[in-house]
Structure 1
Amino acid sequence: MVGRIITARHGRPNLDRNVRITAREYGDWWARYDESGLYPDEEPPRSLIDAAANCEHVLCSTLPRAIETADHIVEGARIVPQDALFVEAPLPPPPVPWIRLRPGTWGVVSRTFWFLGYAPDETENHVAAWRRVSQIADRLIDLSAEGDVLLCAHGYLNWMIDRHMCKKRRWARVDHQGGNDYWSWRAYEMEAPESQANGKPAVAE
């Protein structure tokens, strides 16, 4: 029997968001965000710990916040493999001069620019990121043949995985806890063949 696939967002990173910065400064801030681990008092929800305990495989990205999240979730009971395939979709600082905004607002602006095609230098663009999501789905689906799989990754990447799994791979989202906040998670199961034949919707909130 094919196992479930679970994607979890990392816990709260140890970096101040209560600042106003320019777009250029946001690029530096985001680099520090990628280097930061979790706040010392961060704890995963019990539901996520329990889900991980039943998983044959637990994986994470190579970014510190995802690595520490995975370590918290498995409570030190196993070594969690890391892979750069699972890192967050890029957030290049947008070409907007002078304005000072909080990092969270810059994140929305940057994501919008990136979604519309802005990917300077060697930045992974939106189309390439979707190709990577397809590779992620291949990996998770292959592992699910051995039992439940849990991936500790990132907010927007997990959203992309959700759309791909439900719309392209015909897996059904069967659980979604925490919205898109830190420690949120989604679980998927392969749809029954009769559901696919009947065109039953895979996405259900």
Structure 2
Amino acid sequence: MRHGKPAFSKSARVSCREMADWIAQYDRSDTGGDMPSEASRLLASSALNIISSPLPRALSSLNALGRKPDLIDDVFREAGLPIFHLPGIKLSPTLWAAFFRIMWLCGFSRNAEPLGIAKQRAVQAADILVTSAKLSKGPVLLMGHGVMNRLIAKQLIALGWKACRQQGHGYWNANIYKSG
């Protein structure tokens, strides 16, 4: 499941240099008063084991669901964004984030974890989820992040797991995978 909407949403135009501070504030942000849907609550209530990213937006999302993590691991944190300095340009943080993510996907990872390393983390994360599902003999909920959740999903599929329900990648959305 992807976390709820972060409370920090400052959207004024910023320069590249200001974007680095914006990202840091976003990473420190929890979800404030953003509440999950009833479907998200129901799904979370069925989990026998809860795993989470350590970022505040993930942990506060679990709190909003009335759940506590059994495991918090940095391997599940979101893949960072590289920052490129383009002087004189001010854009919305959403546009900068999209631009930086595209650059990252194209292999440019200046001051950020490279895509290849994030994929290695996704392999570790998938292994943790599979082991957790085997040990708990039931549903496991991962409270994570958009890009990292997608990378982990690819690894689960590579391990033979099947996607049986996909809601999308928006806030509070969850995709369900079952062992093959």
Per the shorter chain, which TM-score range? over 0.9
Assess if the C-alpha contact under 8 Å between 1:70 and 1:80 holds in 2: no
Q: 1:189, CA displacement in angstroms?
A: 0.6
In structure 1, C-alpha distance between the alignment counterparts of 2:3 and 2:88, rounded to whole Å = 31
Could you say which residue in structure 2 is the equivalent of 1:119? 109
In structure 1, C-alpha distance between the alignment counterparts of 2:161 and 2:85, rounded to whole Å = 38
Could you say which residue in structure 2 is the equivalent of 1:181? 170
Assess if the C-alpha contact under 8 Å between 2:51 and 2:69 holds in 1: no
Could you say which residue in structure 1 is the equivalent of 2:58? 66
Alpha carbons of 1:44 and 1:80: their partners in 2 closer, same or farther (altered >3 Å)? farther
Q: CA RMSD in A?
A: 1.5
Could you say which residue in structure 2 is the equivalent of 1:95? 85
Assess if the C-alpha contact under 8 Å between 1:173 and 1:188 holds in 2: yes
Which structure is larger by alpha-carbon Rg, 1 or 2?
1
Could you say which residue in structure 2 is the equivalent of 1:52? 44
Assess if the C-alpha contact under 8 Å between 1:17 and 1:102 holds in 2: no
Could you say which residue in structure 1 is the equivalent of 2:179? 190
Within the candidate set 156, 161, 171, 2:147 is matched to 156
Could you say which residue in structure 1 is the equivalent of 2:127? 138
Assess if the C-alpha contact under 8 Å between 1:94 and 1:113 holds in 2: no
Provide Cα deviations, 1:97-118, integer angstroms capped at 9, x if missing partner.
2211111111111111112222
Alpha carbons of 1:79 and 1:165: their partners in 2 closer, same or farther (altered >3 Å)? closer
Assess if the C-alpha contact under 8 Å between 1:12 and 1:182 holds in 2: yes
Of structures 1 and 2, the one scoring higher in RCO (CA 8 A, sep 6+) is 1
Provide Cα deviations, 1:55-100, integer angstroms capped at 9, x if missing partner.
1101111110000011112x15x45432111100011222322211
Within the candidate set 13, 33, 44, 1:20 is matched to 13
What is the TM-score with the length of structure 1 in the denominator?
0.82
Q: Which runs of 5+ in 1 are unaligned?
A: 1-7, 192-205
Q: How many residues align?
A: 178
Q: Which runs of 5+ in 2 are unaligned?
A: none
In structure 2, C-alpha distance between the alignment counterparts of 1:66 and 1:94, rounded to whole Å = 27
What is the TM-score with the length of structure 2 in the denominator?
0.92
Question: Which runs of at least 4 in structure 1 moved beyond 6 Å after TM superposition?
Answer: none
Assess if the C-alpha contact under 8 Å between 1:17 and 1:104 holds in 2: no
Q: Secondary structure at the match of 2:95?
A: helix
Q: 1:18, CA displacement in angstroms?
A: 2.4
In structure 2, C-alpha distance between the alignment counterparts of 1:92 and 1:27, rounded to whole Å = 9
Assess if the C-alpha contact under 8 Å between 1:94 and 1:109 holds in 2: no
